[in-house]
Amino acid sequence: MALSAEQLAALRCDYSLAPLRRADLDGDPVVQFNRWLEQAHVAEVIEPNAMVLSTVDGEGQPWSRTVLLKVCDERGFTFFTNYGSAKGRQMGGNVRVALTFWWGALERQVNVTGTVEKTSVEESAAYFQTRPRKSQLGAWASAQSAVVEGRDVLERQFAEAEERFGEGAVPLPEHWGGFRVRAQTVEFWQGRRSRLHDRLRYVRTAGGWEVGRLSP
């Protein structure tokens, strides 16, 4: 049974785990992010590296979906996907993107805005070889985002990929690789009581990062 309008309206939490003060933050948002990511991992948040990637297509329509962060370092936030997918094509036409991480168990959120670029083929290949074999085969079997007639078609294409590569190494497909988001802003959000949440945002400037507090 669907939730009623009254039930939906009543769904809320009064967050109270911890404050977020300017003094709590590292001067580098990457260091701060990796600190929070590790805390989410220790807290056993399900897939703490899951992030919502938002892109915009050629008609100005925003799209969002969840992908998995695989590297976060001084270069940016890196994930891997099919370059021919809807998101891949959208990023090819508009490099401005946004990322959102939600760690409900810690009452935390991180929002990132920035621009995206492809990783090198060498970096993509190195990561591809760490993937489970069946995930490697899936990258060959699925034309991501394309219309497919049924599940049986996908299973047949997967079986064809298994037969094609046999017991040998599965190479990196030309249509598959990484994207790296170079952050322009990184906002750390900590839930607080009475909806007076803590929001501290880093903004990239010519001289480095500036941090300011935002109203909730």
Domains of the chain: 18-129+172-214 (2.30.110.10)
Amino acid 145: pLDDT: 83
Amino acid 144: pLDDT: 87
Amino acid 104: pLDDT: 97
User: d(Cα 82, Cα 172) in Å, to the nearest integer?
Assistant: 11
User: d(Cα 40, Cα 77) in Å, to the nearest integer?
Assistant: 17
Q: What is the pLDDT along the chain (216 residues), one digit of tens a residue?
A: 899 999 999 999 999 999 999 999 999 999 999 999 999 999 999 999 999 999 999 999 999 999 999 999 999 999 999 999 999 999 999 999 999 999 999 999 999 999 999 999 999 999 999 999 999 999 999 888 888 889 999 999 999 999 999 999 999 999 999 999 999 999 999 999 999 999 999 999 999 999 999 999
Active-site option among 22, 195, 201, 213: 195
User: d(Cα 184, Cα 201) in Å, to the nearest integer?
Assistant: 10
Q: Annotated catalytic, 195?
A: yes
User: d(Cα 107, Cα 99) in Å, to the nearest integer?
Assistant: 17
Name the phi and psi angles at 43, rounded to 5.
Answer: -75, 0
